Structures are given as structure tokens and as C-alpha cells.
Amino acid sequence: MRNIILIVDDIEMNRAILSSVFEDTYQILEAENGQEALELIRTREKEIAAILLDVVMPVMDGFELLRCMKAEDTGREIPVFLITADASEKNMREGFEYGVKDIIQKPFIPYFVRQRINSVIELYMTQEQLRETVEHQAAVIEAKVEEVSKVSRSVIEILALAIEFRSGETGLHVQNIHDLTKILLRRLREKKFPDCSFSDEQIELIATASMLHDVGKIAVPDNILNKPGKLTKDEFQIMKQHSLTGAEMLEKMTDIQANPVFSYAYDICRHHHERWDGTGYPDGLKGNENSICAQVVALADVYDALTHKRCYKPAIEKAKAAEMIVNGECGVFNPLLIEAFLDIREQIIMEVE
């Protein structure tokens, strides 16, 4: 709470007069020149409600004090009033240019001075309270947003895990897709890859969205999903539906526009089986018709599927899997994406289980 009025005047009599006007409502601090005042302002900035400032003083005059305060950026939230016998146009202009709130000419009538100064102090205090309230509320909102985003990430993870458990897997795949997507996108950003200038936050959102890539598998019957060995042509057609189904689910369940994670997830669900040469599904997108996010998840999905055992295939050694991807044995990928993958192959082999 600000309850001090700082009176700066070299003449004791003037300080005494101003002091008597305010001493019943405020604590009074006195300074004989700008230098003394500056030291008080530095140490008690948060307690001072107003500064009543004389212009002509020895050691440091009023305008010099205002210059110092500006230079040090101190007392910015304290209203300053010039109290002067010389309210010439030049003085008044200079005062207002330094940001003083009002200029009070001596001799003055105490009642009016008190009213003028009090109303400015009240205004300042109200503004300060509002500012504090807004800051507090902003912090509360930020915490809530953080909480909601944690919850939504958990829900996404649970959903992704449920799908994976249904295929008799452990949940590692979902985590790995998340990590691989993140590492690859960061590398692409480093290489200044086109359309890849994502922020850390966006990369995290895309990686979270990538965990939902197979959410459409919920609609694939168990006998197909968990069939050991090769699928028949018809079974494969049903299996392929999962990318469209996932996209449809997201479209129906969520307001995609409202949360970027869902618009990324929609794109990733639908397009994580597209290939660079247009031979993928469901839309047969060619080259960069497919978004870079979906391209990255497609590669991550292939790598992780190769390196782990599935009901229809054994696990392949990591280095071998990387080689297969690079050689185009798992479909054609964006050559620049392959380049980025090669750059960080060792890191991927080391870090991703």
C-alpha cells in the first residue's frame, strides 16, 4: 500500500506548509534536494504515493531529478507534482514534457491542492490494483491452460494406448512415434527445410498429434488387426480404411479448428500412409501435396514398425531397418527427408528403443 508523500524542497518553510496539508492522511518524507529525493525513491519506490517537487534547489534541481528518474526508470508508477512560484510557460512545458501530472503554483490554497493531488493518487492506485488483478488472473488462466493441456495430452495418450493394446502391443510404439516425430522435425527445422520453421511448442503439438495416427484402427475387426501372417487383398482393403476412419473420427469428435493438436492429428491420421511417388493411400498424394508433418510421421511409423516385432513379422535390426528405408524398400520418401533421417540416424538408433 502506498501511503507516503515525498516532499522535495530546499526551503524548510515550504516543506512544513505542504507537510501540514497532507500529514493527517499520509506519512511524510522530506528531501532538501533532488539527490536526497532520488535516494529515497530508490529505496521506498513501492511505498510512495506521490512526489511534490520544487524546481529550483541546490545540488540537484527538480528537472534534473526527473531526468535521473527517467534514465534509471525508477518511480515510473509514482505521480509527480511540480510545486513552484514560477509557473511560466517554459517551466510548465518542461515539466509536462518530463511527465509530471500537474503543476501547482505557489501560493496555493490547501483544500484545492489536496483535492487535485488526492484525485490523481486515487487514479494511480486504482490503476495499480487493476494491473495487479489482471496479472493475477492471467497467472490463474495460464495455470488452467497448462492443466487442460496436460489433461488433453493424457486423454490422447490413453486413446492411443487403447488402440495399441488391442493389437497386443505395449504402448512403446506410440511413445516412439512421438519421439521420432519430434527428433525429425527438429532436424528439419535446423536444416531450414521448407515449411518447417516450427516453434518448440508446435513441434510438441505435432508429436502429440502423431500418437493418434492409428486411432482409426479401432474400427478394424480383431481378426484382421491381429491376424498372424499376410492379409488377403480384401482384408488389406479393410485395414487401409483406418486412415480415413481416424480422420473421420477426429472430424466428428472434435472442433478441429479450436485446437491445433486436432488439426495436426486429422492430417496425420489421414495421410500417414501416403508416399512421395503418389502410390500411398487414401488420397494418393504426390510429393509435397502431403504435409511435412504427415510425411515425417509416415517415415517414423515405418521405422518403428520395422524395428519391432508384429503379429505378422519379426523385428528387424535398427541399422538394417534404416538401410531399408533409405533404399526405398518401404516406399518412396521425400529425398530431403531421407537426408535429414540419415543425418540423425545414429541419434535415432541410440535414443529410440
Partner 1 sequence: MKLEELKEKIDIDVEGSLSRFAGMEKMYIKFLKKLPEDGNYEKLKEAVEKKETDNIEVYAHTLKGICGNLGLTYLYEKSTQIVAAVREDRAQEIPGLMNELSEEMEKAAELIRKLD
Q: Between residues 10 and 251, which has the closer beta carbon with respect to partner 1?
A: 10
Residues 9/57, Cβ–Cβ less than 8 Å: yes
Q: Between residues 17 and 53, which has the closer beta carbon with respect to partner 1?
A: 17
State the chain's maximal CA–CA distance in angstroms.
104
- The SS3 of residue 45 is coil
Nearest-approach distance from CB 11 to partner 1, in angstroms: 7
Q: Could you say whether residue 13 binds partner 1 (CB under 8 A)?
A: yes
Q: Enumerate the H helices of the chain as residue ranges.
A: 12-22, 34-44, 62-72, 89-97, 110-166, 172-190, 200-210, 222-225, 233-253, 260-271, 292-307, 318-326, 335-343, 345-351
Q: Which stretch binds partner 1 (CB under 8 A): 11-19, 164-172, 188-196, 256-264?
A: 11-19
Among 11, 59, 138, 151, binds partner 1 (CB under 8 A): 11
Q: Could you say whether residue 314 binds partner 1 (CB under 8 A)?
A: no
Query: How far is 145 from 125, CA to CA, in rounded Å?
Result: 30
Q: Could you say whether residue 108 binds partner 1 (CB under 8 A)?
A: yes
Active site includes 70? no
Nearest-approach distance from CB 135 to partner 1, in angstroms: 40
Q: Could you say whether residue 287 binds partner 1 (CB under 8 A)?
A: no
Q: Between residues 1 and 111, which has the closer beta carbon with respect to partner 1?
A: 111
The answer for 176, left when phi > 0, alpha when psi is -120 to 50, beta otherwise, is alpha
C-alpha cell at 63: 528537472
**Among 191, 217, 227, 320, which one carries the catalytic annotation?**
217
C-alpha cell at 172: 512403446
The dihedral through the CA atoms of 212, 218, 221, 222 has a sign that is: positive
Q: Between residues 5 and 209, which has the closer beta carbon with respect to partner 1?
A: 5
Residues whose CB is less than 8 angstroms from the CB of residue 255 and which lie 6 or more positions away in sequence, other chains included: 262
Residue 52 pairs with which residues in a beta bridge?
7, 81
Q: Could you say whether residue 311 binds partner 1 (CB under 8 A)?
A: no
- For partner 1, the binding residues in 17-76 under the rule CB under 8 A are 17, 20-21
Distances (CA, A) of 296 to 153, 206, 268, 290, 293: 20, 10, 9, 10, 5
Distances (CA, A) of 320 to 236, 314, 316, 325, 342: 26, 13, 7, 9, 13
Q: Between residues 107 and 228, which has the closer beta carbon with respect to partner 1?
A: 107
Q: What does the per-residue mask of binding to partner 1 show for 88-107, with x meaning CB under 8 A? A: ------------------xx
Q: Which stretch binds partner 1 (CB under 8 A): 14-22, 72-80, 128-136, 316-324?
A: 14-22
Q: Between residues 50 and 211, which has the closer beta carbon with respect to partner 1?
A: 50
Nearest-approach distance from CB 3 to partner 1, in angstroms: 22
Catalytic residue positions, numbered: 217
| Contacts with partner 1, residue ranges (CB under 8 A) | 11, 13, 16-17, 20-21, 106-110, 113
